A and B are shown apart, each in its own frame.
Chain A
Amino acid sequence: MAVAALPDTLVDELVAICGEDHVFTGRSALFNRARVPSPFPKHRWEEFIPQAVVLPTSAEQVSEVVKLANRAGVPVVPRAGGTGLTDGAVPLKHGILVDVKLMDKILEIDVEDRTVTVQPGINMLKLSEQLKPLGFIYPDNPASYPCSLVGGRIGTSGWSLIGGRYGHTRDLVISFEIVLPTGEIIHVGDGGGKKVRKSSSGYQLKHLFMGHQGTLGIVTEATLELVKRPEAEFSAFFAYKNYEDAWKATGDFARSGLATLAGVVLFDEWKVKYLRRDDEAYIPQPDWVNGVVAVAMYGQKDEVRAGAKHLMRIAKENGSHYLGDEISQGDWASRHDRYATPQHGRTRDGQVALMSWHCEDASILYSQLPAVREKWHAVADSLRERFDMFDDWGMFAYTNGAFKSWGDYLTEIDIGIWEMKWDDESWAAWVDAKREIARIAVEHGGSISACHGSCREGEVDLVPLELGGGFEVMKKIKRTLDPKNIMNPGKYLLDQAYEEGGE
């Protein structure tokens, strides 16, 4: 399906706003910004390419582009790192893609009030590198830490691996500037003060504009927490004979009340089996190892040391088997590698095939983890039986609370997909499976997504079920703020807001 080019006059106007070097209409620039790492129907690639790419350098330029799009009736799709797993940055209806990667400056470091103000195109790893000599860190730590950008983290309301200690994106972003779908530039936070962490003044708009997957605007500046760099890190990996023991130990650690505990991760037996294929830490493990739990702590050396010792006593009491320093430290340090490492999938006859990593995620209560795990694996098994292009890579469950480790868990099932095999039939089966995985999460009192978002084909169908009347409010907000449905149309079923008056 060929996509109509934008009129030359419109491209000329974009050039007048952003400059000749910052507007692209060539095939490579467009195709490279058509997808994100989530499973993508490659056989229908041309349905998702933008008509033009712009790389603005200021909020004013972003605002002018959005106003132009409103006048011309052309969609606008914001894009930061393009590492999201729910298609937020995929241009479902073509249009102008606003890539914020050139807006990557640190604008202010306020040591006194402990804030750092940045543009949205900066990466967290690069930001922390700049902060290190000053004794600070920005601890928003997703698996995509080396490649995702601050703007995208706000757009998805991201989750952090060490959120139990430092909070998640919504907690680490104090306030931000955003260009609304009609082009106005506003500032949102707790109250009006750019650096205020807690206010009871007015509506709490920060949360409204966080996790909207680019449907409510484009972030152009953010003020973030400036966190004291930890003196000490402690990570420990433990082995168990079965999932039940590992699940119980996870609860013991997560409910320990240790303030330095940054996260607890539960690996199920499918995950251990998968890692035994080609992971140097797991290949040598004895056959009795069928479950693994990892813990991580950060803070001042004295508090981490005391907390770690307390945690190791808990491990001794509940029968956890420590896997040693080399695995514990090495495996924790490699926690970001899934975005960068080619994965070895297996066909049903055991042959290696290069598959893409994908995970379906949900927020699941601790008590529901065992039951959800059984049902999700059944969905994955059914896919694999019908199509020799899917591979069940097991499940992780990560503590999901901010500044605490108990309660619900970011639960994910990793599925390898041989994406070169996609056709309409396998794609439809995948979408059905995603819908079923989401249904199971909701039926067990969970949420469809803990960190990715829930706006892709399949799971998005369940969003009205999960949110109930809240989804009707979402539609009203969308239609009010974006009367022409310019901003990232096609996402989150929000096109419904414009059908028959949106009622």
Chain B
Amino acid sequence: MIGFRLSAQKPPEAKRVKDDVVMRFDHVYEVDPALMTEHTPQQDIPAWDTLRIVDSRWEHLAWMHDHFADSVLSGEELLEEIGAEEGTA
């Protein structure tokens, strides 16, 4: 079992990405804490829990694809093919 690690508990400082959005981990967005002061106070979430939730989310999406079909086709690959056929790729 891995013991206590401060880096696993304390999230990095937030970077502002938009007027009402901040980011602590790459591509993991959060509502600006200033908008969560009156009716819905923010809770402290340890860094490891945020990352666990994000990983679980990706697992869930992969599961949902697999639930409905054996494979998922790529639009990017199809666009490349079309571009090659038209001589624009």
Contacts and interface: CB of A to CB of B under 8 A. Distances in A.
Contacts, number: 109
Interface in B23-50: 27-29, 31, 35-40
Interface stretch (A76-84, A215-223, A227-235): A227-235
Interface of A is mostly: mixed
Contact of B75 (A308, A334, A346, A347): A308
A336 B68 CA distance: 13
Interface string A314-329: 0010000010110011
Contacts of B62: 333
Of A231, A322, A325, A336, chain B has the most CB atoms within 10 Å of the CB of A325
Given A283-B29, A313-B82, A329 B72 contact: yes
Contact of A334 (B39, B61, B71): B61
Interface residues of A, number: 46
Given A232-B72, A312-B75, A354-B40, A128 B35 contact: no
Contacts of A322: 75-76, 79
B52 interface: no
Nearest to A324: B76
Given A316-B82, A353-B40, A344 B31 contact: yes
Interface size class of B (residues with CB under 8 A): 20 to 34
B89 interface: no
A277 B20 contact: yes
Given A233-B71, A234-B73, A351 B82 contact: no
A330 interface: yes
A329 B21 contact: no
Contacts of B39: 347, 351-354
Interface of A: 125, 128-129, 132, 137, 139, 229-236, 276-278, 280, 283-284, 298, 301, 304-305, 308-309, 312-313, 316, 322, 324-325, 328-330, 333-334, 336, 344, 346-347, 350-354
Interface of B: 17-18, 20-21, 27-29, 31, 35-40, 60-62, 64-65, 67-76, 78-79, 81-82
Given A233-B71, A313-B82, A322-B79, 15 more contacts: A229-B69, A231-B69, A234-B72, A278-B29, A283-B21, A301-B71, A305-B73, A325-B75, A333-B60, A334-B61, A346-B35, A351-B38, A351-B40, A353-B39, A353-B40
